[in-house]
Structure 1
């Protein structure tokens, strides 16, 4: 039975910052993902810069991002059904192989001098198709690797892994693009998928934690939607994830526009700004791993802080202040993402987890085909600063609205405590708040 909407989870008693790494299968998984994620970030930076070089348009960068995430919007829930029905390890072997091949194809086109922007769009769409199945399977597979008690820690370490790669990948991509061109970054990304494939093959399957699998049957997609709709503790965080994911996480569009139009920089500066964003993101992920607890109010608070920090970044008058504020913005963004992810997983029954997490990833990533072109158009039309401010404002307002709805669903009210030494914001039962 899932916890009530107002219930906050208690910390796992055995969790420390790196406790999941004691498990051999998880170490193999994390090592493979580290290599692959580094290659993926190299490709993202090189791909954004390649599209900008071919077209000179921030909107074209937005379309590329949209094409990669459009399959998630169209088919995301079906990927969850596949993840609930079939062995996750086999699914991941297939998807990781296919994703590696898309990187090699883009490398061949670029190094051969034949690449056109429509090639990038098509390959981004094919990569997105693999992601439809890969994402929910990878999210749910973590439970099989570490068990429920270590799930929060493993989710946080996965985010730290991703952000470490985000720190290294853009820096390497910036050097490669400046020195030898984008094609070599695409090639290294394609080759990097050998690492997670090897890790999956080397795992001891007998040590995987058994999980309940959903049988084949009709109406499983509708069943997943009804399951989420009936649980405010799942529904409202996903609403917040949609708004923040659609409007708040469009950094490829903003950063390319700021580097090219506002600061007059090059690919090296673009890689540096992405790395600074990753520094904050890594700090946020490690903080979440050490904390070992996922509270709904932390998720909402992180989203609110993220939106406000985006506004501050957008209005920064100088490059150095802009760059410095990317660090806390990255920290707030990944803290929101990690706590939202672990909250949803831990409040979901095992047989439903693939469908629920596919819906989570669909609203988080699937909103990008809507937000990406819109944000790109606004950036081209009204300038980078105004587009960035507007998206930060949407994220902050969504956090405030969802926080009020969760408080109402949990039977509590938000009360300000302005006394010296007070907590400033307190959650109190409705009856107490009405009587006070």
Structure 2
């Protein structure tokens, strides 16, 4: 897998792209905390506007099915670098305002909406099918490792140089990612996906009829909701802990990434995918771990539980993405990845402002506990509802053997 020059370059591009992403996001959220004076609604609003455009990810995945995925990624990377440079400029000059932060959150979120599903589907063009899960797992390790380094570095940069330095470093990482991406030549060009015109109703019908597609998408809604609420609550909780500040926030986000890297490594080491029952179990454990985070009194105790959160969350993501890519109809992989991104970020885009308002009224800890409990109960219902016999009966004829094996 790593012997392929195209995949090596893609991984190097992913390293710097994810460093750009996590450094920028950490600085963006903390700059919002500073500008709004720790207003929960303001923090929730900017977080929502970062992820609201992700509702367009299904269309973004469709672009990757019809056009060159590499060119789509190059264009989105250029916009991401430009956005980081604009944020660095307004932060450095002291002209930043909440409306401007909201506008830039929308711009960068729209870019990510196109970028994310195409990145998830791109490894199929540069690795063989038999090592696809390992490629997805390695991609997850890179993503989560950047989630460790990016926020930690961003926290240090903010403490010692201000938010503008964090944005400049993010832009630099994005430029390096752009250079590596430009040198990639996919091993399979002219794939069946490119140029195919498949009606959306065909994709949606396939998802509705196949439990191997539907169950991971439903679970992704709950995992994403639990994670987005956690990301809104953490800076608000830490702002009330003496001496925690931006450094503590970056450290805890990095801890989630460290757990995620371990989860991706574990998932990629296990041959074969996990069925919906295992995925739903990961979902329940993740929600319960988030519930425990709400009760932890200090940064150190939170960090231990957040490591578990990251580990279980990435076990879900890696296995869900592998199963979805294997089960996706020919020529519709980008669209299915787009649906996964939409499902994962739907609450982040629509619900986090309300979560922020409620957190301001009753406190971030109680609201985080309530939301995590709701996700745990919903995941438990999915786990109880899933039946291997029902899956075999509902799955397409050509895939019933696979469903029986993975259930």
Which residue is 1:370 aligned to? 350
- Counterpart-to-counterpart distance in 1, 2:157 and 2:252: 16
Confirm or deny that 1:58 pairs with 2:35.
no
Check whether the contact 2:53–2:349 (CA below 8 A) recurs between aligned residues.
no
Find the partner of 1:121 among 94, 97, 102: 102
Please list, as runs of the form range in 1=range in 2, the aligned pairs for 1:9-24 lying within 5 A after superposition.
20-24=1-5
Q: State TM-score, norm by structure 2.
A: 0.91
Which residue is 2:325 aligned to? 345
Q: What does the per-residue CA deviation read over 1:193-242, in whole Å, with 9 as the maximum and x for residues that have no partner?
A: 2222222222234x34663125464x722222222112122112211111
Q: Which runs of 5+ in 2 are unaligned?
A: 394-403
SS of the equivalent of 2:235 reads helix
Find the partner of 2:383 among 387, 393, 403: 403
Please list, as runs of the form range in 1=range in 2, the aligned pairs for 1:34-433 lying within 5 A after superposition.
34-55=15-36, 56-73=38-55, 75-205=56-186, 207-208=187-188, 211-213=191-193, 215=195, 217=197, 220-262=199-241, 265-296=244-275, 297-407=277-387, 409-410=390-391
TM-superposed CA distance for 1:348, in Å, is 0.8
- Counterpart-to-counterpart distance in 1, 2:180 and 2:75: 13
- Counterpart-to-counterpart distance in 2, 1:203 and 1:319: 42
Check whether the contact 1:211–1:350 (CA below 8 A) recurs between aligned residues.
no
Would the alpha carbon gap of residues 22 and 393 (structure 1) be closer, same or farther in structure 2, given more than 3 Å must change? farther
Alignment: residue pair count: 391
Check whether the contact 1:247–1:394 (CA below 8 A) recurs between aligned residues.
no
Would the alpha carbon gap of residues 71 and 317 (structure 1) be closer, same or farther in structure 2, given more than 3 Å must change? closer
Q: State TM-score, norm by structure 1.
A: 0.85
TM-superposed CA distance for 1:300, in Å, is 1.4
- Counterpart-to-counterpart distance in 1, 2:213 and 2:196: 24
Q: Which runs of 5+ in 1 are unaligned?
A: 1-19, 413-428, 430-436
Which residue is 1:9 aligned to? none
Larger CA deviation: 284-293 vs 175-184: 284-293
Larger CA deviation: 319-328 vs 403-412: 403-412
- Counterpart-to-counterpart distance in 1, 2:69 and 2:230: 31
Check whether the contact 2:64–2:194 (CA below 8 A) recurs between aligned residues.
no
TM-superposed CA distance for 1:363, in Å, is 0.9
- Counterpart-to-counterpart distance in 2, 1:366 and 1:286: 27
Would the alpha carbon gap of residues 318 and 191 (structure 1) be closer, same or farther in structure 2, given more than 3 Å must change? closer
Check whether the contact 2:236–2:364 (CA below 8 A) recurs between aligned residues.
yes
Larger CA deviation: 260-269 vs 340-349: 260-269
Check whether the contact 1:240–1:398 (CA below 8 A) recurs between aligned residues.
no
* Bigger helix fraction: 2
SS of the equivalent of 2:129 reads coil
- Counterpart-to-counterpart distance in 2, 1:160 and 1:377: 34
Which residue is 1:434 aligned to? none
